[in-house]
Amino acid sequence: MIQVVGGGAAGCEAAWALARRGVPCRLVTTTLDALYALPADVWPGTPPAGTLWAAVAREAEDASGLGTRAAALRRAVKRELERMPDLLVLQSNVVALWREDGAVVGVRTWEGPAHRADATVLAVGTFLAPRLTVGTAEERAGRLGEMAYDDLRDDLAAHGVRFLRRSLSVPGDGVTPAHSVAFDQVDPLGTVEGVGHVRSATGIRRWPDVAGVWLLGACADPVGVEDAAAAGRDLGAHLAGS
Ligand SMILES: Cc1cc2nc3c(=O)[nH]c(=O)nc-3n(C[C@H](O)[C@H](O)[C@H](O)COP(=O)(O)OP(=O)(O)OC[C@H]3O[C@@H](n4cnc5c(N)ncnc54)[C@H](O)[C@@H]3O)c2cc1C
């Protein structure tokens, strides 16, 4: 059983890549309605080959009369993931890694249950200690309308993970207001114990001491949606052994 935390482009792709190869997988994410959500309701670009996004792009385009293309993409992704026999999609908020004898064996959730897994992929994007600014208002949110809590970031920090503060902005278009999100990103040069790391541009790379955790997507690299999707595809294939 492999567990993916975070249902953005990176996490959805990793979970799909695993499940379609028959690897039992659990995708845990804060909000099921925000699977594959984008910072603004726009089509994200060109789907990389071999991705979930590419597989559902036509369906999403055909259904986009019911709303925006991005909303149609989210619906198509949710349907595709939920119908996969080897994949459990779970709405829950992860607050900490679950450690036993120095190794990571799963995750702990805000709701209570802890989930054990052979490997855990953290794909939590722009949601590590995020602060969303809209005009003069500031909220704890990793994306417009999506609350986030600092627990997981604090847990990682308590175990030696170092961070770089990043910020991304959306200019605003008359529908989506101009806003920005500041968030922590794992410092690839920081001291990290027991954390694996994936960098899509240079292939799969690990920090030396890997104990069941992988970092993926915008929480680890300054990636856009296409890069995040490709990195998820590649990590899923790697963990599935193909
Ligand atoms: C303001 C802003 C502007 C941006 N502009 C662009 C742009 O112009 N072009 C571009 O390509 N990219 C842009 N991005 C980045 C883009 O959103 C990401 O690169 C892309 O979404 C892929 O990220 P991801 O899958 O790694 O993470 P995300 O899409 O951030 O997904 C992370 C997922 O993890 C879930 N999650 C987080 N914490 C937890 C937890 N503790 N427990 C359970 N689930 C959790 C979240 O709910 C979310 O679904 C922008 C981002 C922001 C915030």
Number of the ligand 1 atom closest to the C-alpha atom of 169? 1
**Percentages of the chain per state (helix, strand, coil), in multiples of 5:** 30, 30, 40
- Give residue 2's Cα distance to chain centre: 14
Q: Show the domains of the chain with their CATH numbers.
A: 2-124+188-239 (3.50.50.60)
Residue nearest to atom 7 of ligand 1 (CA): 224
Rounded percentage of the chain residues whose pLDDT exceeds 70: 86
Q: Does the pLDDT value for residue 200 go beyond 60? A: no
Q: Calculate how far, in angstroms, residue 70's C-alpha sits from the geometric centre of ligand 1.
A: 14
Lowest mean pLDDT across 8-22, 37-51, 194-208, 216-230: 194-208
Residue nearest to atom 20 of ligand 1 (CA): 225
121-180: per-residue pLDDT in tens? Answer: 999 999 999 999 999 999 999 999 899 999 999 998 888 788 899 999 998 887 789 999
Question: What's the chain's average pLDDT?
Answer: 86
Q: Calculate how far, in angstroms, residue 208's C-alpha sits from the geometric centre of ligand 1.
A: 26
Residue scoring higher pLDDT (93 or 205): 93
Arithmetic mean of pLDDT, 81-104: 92
Q: How confident is the model at residue 196 (pLDDT cuts 50, 70, 90)?
A: low
Rounded percentage of the chain residues whose pLDDT exceeds 90: 57
Query: pTM of the prediction?
Result: 0.94
* CB neighbours of residue 100 within 10 Å: 9
**Do the beta carbons of residue 143 and residue 35 sit within 8 Å?**
no
Q: Calculate how far, in angstroms, residue 101's C-alpha sits from the geometric centre of ligand 1.
A: 32
Say what the pLDDT of residue 237 is. Answer: 92
213-229: per-residue pLDDT in tens? Answer: 888 889 988 778 998 99
CB burial of residue 83 (10 Å; 0-12, 13-18, 19+): exposed
Does ligand 1 come within 6 angstroms of the Cβ of 212? no
Q: How confident is the model at residue 195 (pLDDT cuts 50, 70, 90)?
A: low
Residue scoring higher pLDDT (151 or 190): 151
Q: Does the pLDDT value for residue 79 go beyond 50? A: yes
- Closest listed residue to residue 232, CA positions, set 150, 142, 144, 124: 124
Say what the pLDDT of residue 83 is. Answer: 96
